[in-house]
Amino acid sequence: MFSDKANKIFVEVIDKYHEVNTVDQPFTNPYDKKDQLLEHLLYRKCWIDTVQWHYEDIIRDPDIEPVAALKLKRQIDASNQDRTDMVEYIDSYFLEKYKDVTVGEDATINTESPAWGVDRLSILALKIYHMHEEATRTNASEAHRANCQAKLNVLLEQRVDLSTAIDQLLSDIAHGKKYMKVYKQMKMYNDDELNPVLRGEK
């Protein structure tokens, strides 16, 4: 199943990140882009999400200096763009994979593309990792750990459900029961021509 592969890679990424546990650590993708393209894309996608997760923690420091906060905000913006780009790369992979499928006359479109489901699955892996940390944190109260364990149980159930839904969607696409139609994000605020501030207008 696709989701088994994705979840395994996401755990691999998150564990690897936490060996050093700093947002500025060097990135190396162990999966070759030519021979293992899907694995390469999934690994990169989750790495972006993992770094951004920790950016979001840092910027919420109430004592952060304004200059540092602005710099970090720019990094988060760039990370968001990278995240969106990776979703589109993953969808391009699936579009290519299923391009020769004969679509049934009664085929329907899904509310989201496969890669946006993958995006949610990657974030869910991060939630599970960090909620497990809180559920087992020895310097936390028993009530805190119990509360986090209850939340962790829900997240684990959610991963099963989301994984099942993604696998079903891909199966439906492969058998012509669903069809893919991907819309580029067309974000305007990063575009020099579409954002009036970047154009220099007041």
Alpha-carbon distances, residue 171 vs 114, 139, 168 (angstroms): 11, 45, 5
Q: Where are the domains of the chain?
A: 2-179
Chain-centre distance of CA 124, in angstroms?
A: 8
* Model confidence, pTM: 0.91
Residue bearing the bigger pLDDT, 189 or 29: 29
Percent of the chain at pLDDT above 90? 89
70 neighbors 53 (Cβ within 8 angstroms): no
Residue 28 is predicted with a pLDDT of 97
14 neighbors 50 (Cβ within 8 angstroms): yes
Residue with tokens 């004592």: 63
Residue 184 is predicted with a pLDDT of 72
Residue type, 33: K
Residue 186 is predicted with a pLDDT of 65
pLDDT tens digit sequence for 37-82: 999 999 999 999 999 999 999 999 999 999 999 999 999 999 999 9
Neighbours of 91 (CB within 10 A): 19
